[in-house]
Structure 1
């Protein structure tokens, strides 16, 4: 079945979507999350996993990838840890081969060279080589998680580009996408007006630029 809203979000950049989220009063911007390459782009529905500190005996970091649906974004909440990775080359190779949309981590990843070589999008707080084995373990899958201060629920829309990642809650996605498309159209109209000789001030006033991100009255 066609996922119309997934197709729509893939045509919009994260800056425009961020403005639409602000207008709706939704905190969907993943703070301090960045792509392993500025060329990366991703759009998909969230498949989530939450990690916690390893117990004794240590639990596994997970062999979950075979169960992730095609075209999903794998969303890994490692509590922002930067001293233990939860994603590396084997997972990158498998995810790329399966055609998954990308990986989003509140934490760090390793083996950056391979994801860049394959063009598989990985977004995280950074990269570091130390394994998470015996340091973290899977606590739960397909549960709400936190990525850079944004709540991510399984099935939410996830969009990443060179500026970072935004998450759009499923129950609000139609409204957010409508607003984002309106904002994009207004900004394109401003550009065209300026190219035609109008001053930026007048073009912005004509197309309501200063109200585009203002939160709507509830």
Structure 2
């Protein structure tokens, strides 16, 4: 289900920033709830720390799985509760501190430049497009990349743009999310290609007696 109201930009972003304060309390199921606006808010929040060049173990899988759930909810136009294994998950305690330092500045900046526009893109008419793009962004987040530990910044940007674009009904942000989702898959493909090339080069450096015959 897509949001159908036309929120005041600053009010919507204030709610996003306030939600970050709840991240360190309880489980994901306790914090996120089932309302579509809540889920979109939290999806953008959970993707935000991955925009930084730091590795947070388990975050990419959690955000990717949650993104797929929100994508399915968007496609079906109805809220879907978190599965038990995801609802009972507790995020790393350090994540709350990271979010406070990142989300406050990020939402303050976004509140000044974003606005409800191109409202048709966030309407139910385009739910298949938006659900499909969310699913692609989530899958790019979950795709393992060889030999790269910090590989989620571009997929995280795609997830955050799509989630918050739908949350505040900013079609310009959604268009940026579509573009970054395509870039995320190009980025993942490039890392796989580079990893394969490096692996092939390393195999060539092995002594002949160690190589497969």
| Both proteins in one fold, TM over 0.5 | no
Larger relative helix fraction = 2
Bin of the TM-score, shorter chain as denominator length: under 0.3
Larger relative strand fraction = 1
TM-score using structure 2 length: 0.25
TM-score using structure 1 length: 0.25
